[in-house]
Structure 1
Amino acid sequence: MKILLIGGSGNIGRAIAAELDGRHEIIAAGRQHGDVRVDIEDEASIIAMYQRLPELDAVAVATGGRNGHLAPVAEMSAARYRVGLESKLLGQVNVVLHGLNHVRDGGSFTLVGGVSDAQSIAPQFSNVYMANAALDAFVTAAAVELPRGLRINLVAPQLLDESVEAYGAWFRGMPTTPAASVARAYSLSIEGMQNGQVYRLGR
């Protein structure tokens, strides 16, 4: 398969490439690294990226852009909430919408989410949780009506083992998961037959 991997230089992206390497052709895309350049926060950039690519069998997103503005709720504003909504949420939604005509019949989209349930709440992350929950809903709803047998799934890890040093202070006591396990969930989504699934890891 020809698989577009957006965000191939991060912890999850590198693990996905290692998991799929040798079985499929990986086309890496990123803001600063990869075979093609794309900024998922810029809709025009997404459109231009697809125009430069061949017909694809799968699209995997392993980046949430800027993710979201971290701050206590009392310090948030509509503009700050838009950081996560326009980046992690709408950036990935636009990857799907503009990719519909560039993915072969029966192909797939795999998006990246994260924690969104009450048992995993961390302070200052309301923007991120909101975007993650919206991604859950989008994937569940979109799966019902994608054309031509296309599939869509969401991989939603909690804290990565590889990210504990950077983010562990916010998630004391919560389970972590290795990037390699996250990559295997992408493999299941891309190489399997499931549709509309949210693969939650680290519980």
Structure 2
Amino acid sequence: MRILIIGANGTIGRKVTEELSKKNEIIKVGKTSGDLQVDIADSSSIKEMFEKSGKVDAIVCIAGEAKWDDFENLAEEDFYIGIKSKLMGQVNLVRIGRDYLNQGGSFTLTTGILADHPVDKTTSAAMVNGGIHSFVKAVSLELEDGIRINAVSADLVEDAKDKYEDYFPGHTPVPMNKVVDGYKKSVLGKLNGEIIRVLA
């Protein structure tokens, strides 16, 4: 398979790329690194990326930003960071990318535990993750040519524990191999319209 991975050099992306590259051709994409570059908050940048990549069998997005802060500190513009990047960025990857997927191809988007179990300072991020879950379930009913779509939603991941554990009291970090398996299940399996929750 020819698989395009956006966020290939990130905490999760590195491990997913390493595993999927064992038996597949990987196109690594980052904001400033990789085989190709993309700003997912910019639909013209997404289009340009796909023009360079050509047809692929799977598109995986492990990228997207959202503002973390107390609700009382969040201005309208702060919410738009997550809406433009993580939410509409991934929606646009599907909207534009479906023309670059081979028949029977798949999309794998990324959300996180906050959609189901938000923690302090995550109003914006949780809202965006929940929106992606609804999008995945709805658009899976309409994609044609056997194209599938799923989202992987992991709890606090082991490799990000040191950075984020203070935000997630009582959350048991998820081993990275379990997180990687969630992406494999979406890319290599037959699931469609599913939220693949990865918990410790």
Q: Name the TM tier (shorter chain).
A: over 0.9
What secondary structure sits across from 1:116 in the alignment?
helix
Number of the residue aligned with 1:182? 179
Give 1:103's aligned residue: 101
Alpha-carbon RMSD across the aligned residues, in angstroms, is 1.1
- Aligned twin of 2:63: 63
Partner of 2:141: 144
Query: Please, which of 126, 129, 136 is the counterpart of residue 129 of structure 1?
Result: 126
Written as runs of structure 1 = structure 2, the 5 A alignment for 1:6-85 is 6-64=6-64, 67-85=65-83
Report what 1:202 is aligned to.
199
Measure how far apart 1:191 and its partner are.
Answer: 0.8
In structure 2, stretches of 5+ residues that fail to align are none
C-alpha separation between the residues in 1 aligned to 2:32 and 2:57?
24
What is the CA-CA distance between 1:121 and the residue it aligns to?
Answer: 2.5
Equivalent residue for 1:88, pick from 86, 89, 95? 86
In structure 2, distance between residues paired with 1:194 and 1:121: 26
| Structure 2 residue identity aligned to 1:179 | M
SS in 2 for 1:144: coil
TM-score (normalizing by structure 2): 0.96
Q: Aligned-pair distance for 1:76?
A: 1.3
Identity, in percent, stands at: 34
Q: What is the letter of the counterpart of residue 109 of structure 1?
A: F
Tell me how far 1:180 sits from its aligned partner. Answer: 2.3
Runs of 4+ in 1 over 4 A off after TM superposition: none
Equivalents in 2 of 1:96, 1:180: separation in Å? 26
TM-superposition CA deviations, 1:16-49 (whole Å, max 9, x none) = 1121122110000111111011111111110000
